[in-house]
Amino acid sequence: MSKVMSMKEAIKRFIKNGMTIYISGFTHLIGYAAAHEIIRREVKDLTICRPTPELLVDEMVAAGCVKKTVFSWAGNPGVGSLRSIRRAVEKGIPHKIEVEEYDHFSFAARVYAGAMGIPFMPIRNLFGSDLSKYNKKIKFIECPYTRQKICVVPALNPDVAIIHVQRADEEGNAQVWGITGLTKHIAFASSKVIITCEEIVESEIIKRDPNRTLIPGFKVDAVVEEPFAAHPSYAQGYYYRDNDYYRMYDEISKDEKKLEEFLEEWIYSVENRQEYIKKLGVEKLLKLLVKPYYSYPVNFGRIGR
Amino acid sequence: MNKTKYVKDYSIEELMIIAAARELKDGENVLVGIGLPIMAAMLAKRTHAPNIKIIFESGIIDSNPTYVPLSIGDPDSVTGCKSIFDFFEVFALLLQPGHIDVGILGGAQVDKYGNLNSTVIGDYEKPKVRLPGSGGACAIASLAKRTIIIMPHEKRRFPEKVDFITSPGYLNGMNSREESGIVRGGPIAVITNLCVLRFDEKTKEMYLDTYHPGVSIKDIKANTGWDLKISPNVKETEPPTEKEIEVLREIRETRI
């Protein structure tokens, strides 16, 4: 059964005010196109979960979509701060946002617990750190077997996960290579799953390489074909990370007014991702393209001689 | 035997990277961040420790980056690596059971017992400066067999007590790290632009081990927020060798 729809339709149908949503991608395959569509739709009061909010949550905070950010590292990788998030936390500009903060290990543990349908995950971490003083969801209990102290964090079960992948078929069987982040587990932790992909491929391509399928189609509610959806992050084998963009954003976001103009130019007055790509321009796209570097096929074998 | 040839003309940043690289032993699993740490690991791998495994918290295992990456998940660090773990597995399977020998960390503040702050300056609820937070640092500081800290040496960055413990060092000194439930590890060196500091075996208090060429002990004490103890064997930091500088400069030219 085909679950293919446009980004506009998917966001309109599944993302509502006040929801808890997870936008997937760790340095790789970050769902920028979906975030921009959410901003265009002016969705409000979202709780956004991402270990790294990255520029997309920073933009969503500036656009007024965010009530709360659940995170473990809120920086601009290799560059510095996420300035809208900082302004919101330090000065309440444009408005106060709530923060629920973890470290990467405990954040990832929450997603695993959510995926497995268990209430919490024990980890040997966060002893002696001040994080648990300000986040009461981080608790320490006595292990019922060893009597040792152990840290526990609760399952995370978002309403919707938006997951960008390299390729999927029309049913949503989704394949990822390179950095996988929490792709598989966030799909299983979330009530609804939107897959966005660089390309929709025939099911035959998926079936020839099943080890690469991180999410089976039955767990997916919508499939959106959206090339370059991860820009300025990257898609392994498709296009590179736009490091200059991360530096440029840092400069622009220092000034609220400039950032407003930037959001107007690159999000609000752009109809969709196709238009965004056109606006980026050929020169930029050529700079981000990658040279092919293929893996060798493996032999799955078939019965018979 | 060849006499080691030292270089006189080098930057302090180069010396810091070289001092960190020397802390890495051949064959070790090294979990690195971007900036100085990745350059230290790349330098070690291309000099005295060709068999170290460079690991990024994004899940990249045994990476051979062709250039110095800007992020810990750069596509070039992925291409040609030996394995990729998911984001939970890095912490649950590599760090938690003790497969990471060394982690290299930085922060906004470090205190007398090697506790690191990368979360807030000032009060958590009403921060003067909101910093990025832990990321992988707390788990690395808690679960790697040892950690190396690289920091600029300024009084405000070296307070007696950090504003917020993001990543535990030796907490309040003596046995307080073990007593808190942490099962292994701890910082073994703090490398700054002025000196290399280490930790007393018993009290776990940081002390001055070596001062960089041209830096006075007085300067170091003046830039430290508590009465810093000095090793009875305090000496000058070994300057960079010709080989180290040559390889490091090749690496630095590849920064993007």
Structurally, chain B folds into a number of domains equal to 1
How far apart CA A184 and CA A252 sit, in angstroms, is 35
Average pLDDT, chain A: 97
Q: Which of residues 50-69 of A touch B (CB under 8 A)?
A: 51-52
- Per-residue pLDDT of A57-68, as tens digits, reads 999 999 999 999
B1 is a domain residue: no
User: What is the domain-level CATH number for residue B191?
Assistant: 3.40.1080.10
Structural domain contains residue B6: no
What is the spatial distance between Cα A63 and Cα A44, in angstroms, rounded to a whole number? 9
- Spatial distance between the Cα atoms of A167 and A180, rounded to a whole number of angstroms: 13
A175 Cβ under 8 Å from any chain B Cβ: no
Residue at B129 is within a domain: yes
B181 and A79 within 8 Å at the Cβ level: the answer is no
Nearest CA in chain B to A107: B88
Model-level pTM greater than 0.95? yes
Longest dimension (CA), chain A: 72
C-alpha span between B86 and B92 (Å, rounded): 10
By residue range, what is the domain housing residue B107? 12-252
Indicate the Cα dihedral angle A118, A122, A123, A124, nearest 10°.
-170
Does B3 map to a domain? no
Whether the bond into A232 is cis, omega within 30 of 0: yes
- Residues 6 or more apart whose CB falls under 8 angstroms from that of A93 comprise A87, A256
Residue B118 counted as domain residue: yes
Positive/negative CA dihedral, A163, A164, A166, A169:
positive
Cβ of B143 within 8 Å of Cβ of A124? The answer is: yes
- Going by C-alpha positions, the residue among B55, B97, B87 that lies closest to residue A102 is B87
How many angstroms separate the CA atoms of B169 and B26, rounded? 25
pLDDT in tens, B59-113: 999 999 999 999 999 999 999 999 999 999 999 999 999 999 999 999 999 999 9
Which residue ranges form the domains of chain A, and what is each CATH number? 7-102+157-288 (3.40.1080.10), 104-154 (no CATH)
Q: Determine, for residues A125 and B177 on separate chains, whether the beta-carbon distance falls below 8 Å.
A: no
pLDDT score recorded for residue A201: 98
Question: Looking at residues A210-218, what average pLDDT do you find?
Answer: 98
Residue B2 inside a domain? The answer is: no
Contact B117, B164 (CB under 8 A): yes
* Residues in Cβ contact with A252 at an 8 Å cutoff, skipping those fewer than 6 apart: A258, A259, A262
Whether the complex's predicted ipTM surpasses the cut of 0.95: yes
pLDDT at B13: 97
Element (H, E) at B242: helix B242-252
